[in-house]
Amino acid sequence: MHSFWSMRPARSPAELGLTAYDRRKLERALRQARDARYFRRLLAIKLIAEGKGPGEVAHLAALSRPAVYFWLERYLAARTPSALLDAPRSGRPRKAPRLTSRRLRRVVRSSPERAGWASHGWTVPLLRSHLQRQGFEVSPRTLRRRLHEAGLAWKRPRYVYVTAAPHPGQKKGALSAV
């Protein structure tokens, strides 16, 4: 890998090995980029390829100067815009790893009445209470996310205020007293 840390003065794109083909690849990737960090990195390398200096590029792309050099090295090593993507990260471990999509689907497909609840359908708060009884501690937000991951749609129940029919005797075919 090249070391650009001692670049004084700024080298031309040709000296760095950046070509018109690289610029076109970077422009294409810029149009398709949806992640802000990836976009800024692509923009920085494209500006370097257009002949701008690292200091100016750092200012325009909202990156530090060392970051511009780092991503330039990364791009030149691979010669592909995908080299500027973030590496996959493991992230925070799940709070309730035993609550799998399969188990969640099994619970949701069962009746809340059979589980001892006085309801005909599952709601997120009811499902959360049921899961808490089974030893799964999850927040409503996490539960909604897990339902989505399991391919299940959750809806808020629609409560309908039911009134008595205005003339129930006529509807049943009975005579009404006058």
Residue 78: predicted pLDDT: 93
At 68-123, the pLDDT tens digits run: 999 999 999 999 999 999 888 888 877 778 888 999 999 999 989 998 999 888 88
- Inter-residue contact 47 to 30 (CB < 8 Å): no
Residue 170: predicted pLDDT: 61
Q: Which of the 8 DSSP states describes residue 83? A: G
Copy the structure tokens of residue 162.
């039911």
Residue 61: predicted pLDDT: 93
Pick from 145, 150, 148, 104: nearest CA to 127: 104
Cα(75)–Cα(73) distance, integer angstroms? 5
Which residue did the predictor score with more confidence, 176 or 117?
117
Which residue did the predictor score with more confidence, 84 or 11?
84
Residue 118, class by beta-carbon neighbours within 10 Å (0-12 exposed, 13-18 middle, 19+ buried)? exposed
Residue 38: predicted pLDDT: 95
At 127-173, the pLDDT tens digits run: 999 999 998 889 999 899 899 989 887 666 677 777 766 666 666 65
Residue 175: predicted pLDDT: 58
Average pLDDT over residues 35-41: 94
Long-range CB contacts (within 8 A, 24+) of 84-88: 84/38, 84/41, 84/42, 84/45, 85/35, 85/38, 86/35, 86/37, 86/38
Cα(112)–Cα(105) distance, integer angstroms? 13
C-alpha 27 chain-centroid distance? 25
Mean pLDDT lowest for which of 9-13, 30-34, 57-61? 9-13
Average pLDDT over residues 43-47: 95
Which residue did the predictor score with more confidence, 165 or 3?
165
Pick from 4, 40, 25: nearest CA to 81: 25
